[in-house]
Amino acid sequence: MRDPAWLRTLPLLIEHQRVRTTPVKSETSATAQRLTFDDGSSLFAKFAENGRPGFLAAEAGGLRWLREASDAVVEVLYADDEMLVEPWLEPGQPSPGHARELGRQIAAVHAAGAERYGAPWTGYIGETFMDNTESDSTWAEWYAARRIEPYLGPSRDNGALDSSDVAAIEALAARLPGLAGPAEPPARTHGDLWWGNVHWTAERAWMIDPAAHGGHRETDLANLRLWGGVPHFESILAGYQEVSPLAAGWEERVGLHQMFPLLVHTTLFGRPYRAQLMGIVSHFTKLSY
At 65-112, the pLDDT tens digits run 999 999 999 999 988 888 899 999 999 999 999 999 999 999 999 999
Q: Which residues pair with 189 in a beta bridge?
A: 213
Is pLDDT above 80 for 285? yes
Q: What is the spatial distance between Cα 63 and Cα 251, in angstroms, rounded to a whole number? A: 28
Q: What is the pLDDT of residues 191-218, one digit of tens each?
A: 999 999 999 999 999 999 999 999 999 9
Which residue, among 273, 251, 215, has the nearest Cα to 62 in the 3D structure?
215
What pTM was computed for the model? 0.90
Residues of the chain with CATH 3.30.200.20: 4-87
Q: Pairing relation of β-strands 123-125 and 128-130? A: antiparallel
CATH of range 96-286; options 1.40.20.10, 1.20.1300.10, 3.30.420.10, 3.90.1200.10:
3.90.1200.10
Distance of CA 213 to the CA centre of its chain: 9
Q: What is the pLDDT of residue 2?
A: 43
Q: Which CATH superfamily is domain 4-87 in?
A: Phosphorylase Kinase; domain 1 (3.30.200.20)
User: Which band of pLDDT confidence, cut at 50, 70 and 90, is reported for residue 253?
Assistant: very high
Task: Calculate ∠ Cα 114-256-251, nearest 5°.
Answer: 90
Residue 5 in this model has a pLDDT that exceeds 70: no
Average pLDDT over residues 117-130: 88
% of the chain residues with pLDDT over 90? 73
How far, in Å, CA of 141 to CA of 127, rounded?
25
List where CATH 3.90.1200.10 sits in the chain: 96-286
The mean of the pLDDT values for the chain is: 90
Q: How confident is the model at residue 10 (pLDDT cuts 50, 70, 90)?
A: low
Q: Are 209 and 27 in contact (CB under 8 A)?
A: yes
Quickly state the pLDDT bin for 289 (edges 50, 70, 90). very low
